[in-house]
Amino acid sequence: QPTPRKVWAFLGDGETDEPESLGSITLASREKLDNLVWVVNCNLQRLDGPVRGNGKIIQELEAAFTGAGWNVIKCLWSE
């Protein structure tokens, strides 16, 4: 029986730049885990330096999530 409970994950773009994270996006879709909510903070930083791609990580992540069947809501902070 489906549960109304949600599992929230708060990640940075550095974590989602790892192959294991990208694999879990497709795994969750394949297993029909519809109670997951991921919030990804894209600050272009990793523990070992800048995230690859000069800011294109936002578009890459959006494409990866959308391609795996996730609903994507993108909020951009601008000055």
- Span 10-59, pLDDT tens digits: 998 888 878 898 899 999 999 989 899 999 988 887 778 777 766 788 88
pTM of the model: 0.81
Structure confidence at residue 70 (pLDDT) = 94
CB hemisphere CA count around 74 (13 angstroms): 12
pLDDT of residue 54: 65
pLDDT of amino acid 67:
94
User: Which of 28, 58, 30, 32 is CA-nearest to residue 43?
Assistant: 58
Q: Say what the pLDDT of residue 79 is.
A: 66
Amino acid at 69: G
Can you tell me the mean pLDDT for 54-72? 89
Let me know if 29 is exposed, middle or buried by CB neighbors in 10 A (0-12, 13-18, 19+): middle
